[in-house]
Amino acid sequence: MNDVPIMPNEFKGGFNKNCGYTKTSPRKWTEKEITWMNELLKKGYSIKDIATSLNRSEVSVSIKAKRLTKKDGTYNKKHYQEKVKYNYMFLNKIKPKTVLDLYCGENDIYKDYKTTTNDINKNILADYNEDAFKLICKLYYEGKKYDLIDLDPFGSAYDCFDIAIKMAKKGLIITLGELGHKRWKRLDYVETHYDINNLEDFTIQNIVKYIQKIGLRNKKRLIPVFVFEWENIGRVYFEIEELKVTKQWGGEWIMLEEYEELNYQLEKRVGELLDENERLRDLCEKYEEEHRTTFEEWKKAINIINELEKWLRSEIKRLEDIQNPKKGIKPYGEEYNHYTLLIGAYDNALDKLQELKGVDK
Ligand SMILES: C[S@@+](CC[C@H](N)C(=O)[O-])C[C@H]1O[C@@H](n2cnc3c(N)ncnc32)[C@H](O)[C@@H]1O
């Protein structure tokens, strides 16, 4: 693996006194340094890469890593048991007939199901030993579908999310190794992948929401049945529903047809408004060239503007009601653009109105 991230200098400990057995004084291991090393190990970096990252010798890293593996055994086991327990409960809930275990590891946890297994590690006995993303692309291309897909990487399986959502029929389990970045106050990854721009927003809930949006884009509703977080890893069990409902506005759902109808109506009204605006602008321009404008034309302009104002006010009121979450949905995305457009047009129309009404005739 290339491009190992270099550990920040402040994670380094001080130097121990030279005991006489080593050529150089050994550097103390700090908690932060150990966690950094564990993260890199989990991501599959080699001892050589990790030594570069930590600015230590390969021997030092290798000895420390071995000691820690022994010490850590029970701790990992506890997490593992928890994972197995939730898996069991989830499987009982969704009762899959077919499973794709894309990062299967050594434990055959879906052995009682018709499972397609994969792990990049060629020493692991699996149906495939491929990179997860490449394999899922191939399976998608072949038109495969699975009741359940499990994405259980050491780091992040982000690249596979979209296709996995497309291919999963009943359930999707995602392990979120990217939560580990929180510990290092690293936002670069979550900024580009989840639109999370500060540490406060860096929560598993926000990541889940983001994944749900990918679901919506695929006309699937992802319902988190279990969400849990260990120290620096999260695992989310989503049940999948094909969408009859489509958008979630502040916790409430509206029907797809209703949303589409609303959007259609709004587009129509915005179109009308823009036409009106166009007419208004023409009339105003005409009026501004005072000498060439008749009194009749001026009256016509004022009438149109009054009508337009009434209509704009009612339309904006309607959108503001919609925006109130208690009443239903919030303008969002396309609809929000229409709303701002209306507000803009309204301000514009009011200015013109005042300008015209302010003129003594
Ligand atoms: C957390 S372990 C999986 C544990 C397993 N699901 C279980 O419950 O026992 C992650 C596995 O992903 C594999 N892996 C790492 N990078 C991969 C990639 N790009 N594609 C497929 N597998 C990968 C590793 O070899 C490792 O076995």
Q: Note whether residue 132 is domain-resident.
A: yes
Shared-domain flag, residues 113 and 219: yes
How many domains are contained in the chain? 3
Give 14 Cα–ligand 1 centroid separation in angstroms: 35
Q: Is 157 in the pocket of ligand 1 (CB under 6 A)?
A: no
Residues spanned by the domain of 55:
9-72
Alpha-carbon distance 212 to 92, whole Å? Answer: 23
In a domain, 22, yes or no: yes
Average pLDDT over all residues of the chain: 76
Q: Which residue has the higher pLDDT, 313 or 183?
A: 183
Mean pLDDT of 1-26: 68
Kindly state whether residue 104 falls inside one of the protein's structural domains: yes
User: Hey, whose CA ends up nearest to atom 10 of ligand 1?
Assistant: 153
Same domain, 64 and 189: no
Q: What is the pLDDT of residues 55-81, one digit of tens each?
A: 988 888 887 777 776 555 444 566 777
Whether residue 177 has its Cβ less than 6 Å from ligand 1 = no
Q: Is 145 inside any structural domain?
A: yes
Higher local confidence (pLDDT), 122 or 116:
116
Ligand 1 proximity of 154 Cβ (cutoff 6 Å):
yes
Q: Is the C-beta atom of 109 inside 6 A of ligand 1?
A: yes
Q: Which DSSP symbol is given to 22?
A: S
Note if the pTM is more than 0.75.
Answer: no
Partners of 174 in the β-ladder: 151, 236
Same domain, 147 and 200: yes
Position in ligand 1 atom list of the atom nearest CA 131 = 20
Q: Whose CA is nearest to atom 16 of ligand 1?
A: 120
- Sort strands 234-242 and 220-229 into parallel, antiparallel or unpaired: antiparallel
Please state, for a pLDDT cut of 70, what percent of the chain lies above it: 61
Q: For 215-237, what is the mean pLDDT? A: 85
- CATH number, domain with residue 65: 1.10.10
Site to probe by mutation for ligand 1, drawn from 103, 107, 130, 133 as the one with most ligand atoms within 8 Å of Cβ, is 103
pLDDT value for 83: 83
Burial label, 21 (beta-carbon count in 10 A; 0-12, 13-18, 19+): exposed
Query: Ligand 1 in contact with 73 (CB < 6 A)?
Result: no
Do 233 and 94 sit in the same domain of this protein? yes
pLDDT at residue number 255? 42
What's the CA angle centered on 205, arms 241 and 263, to 5 degrees? Answer: 55
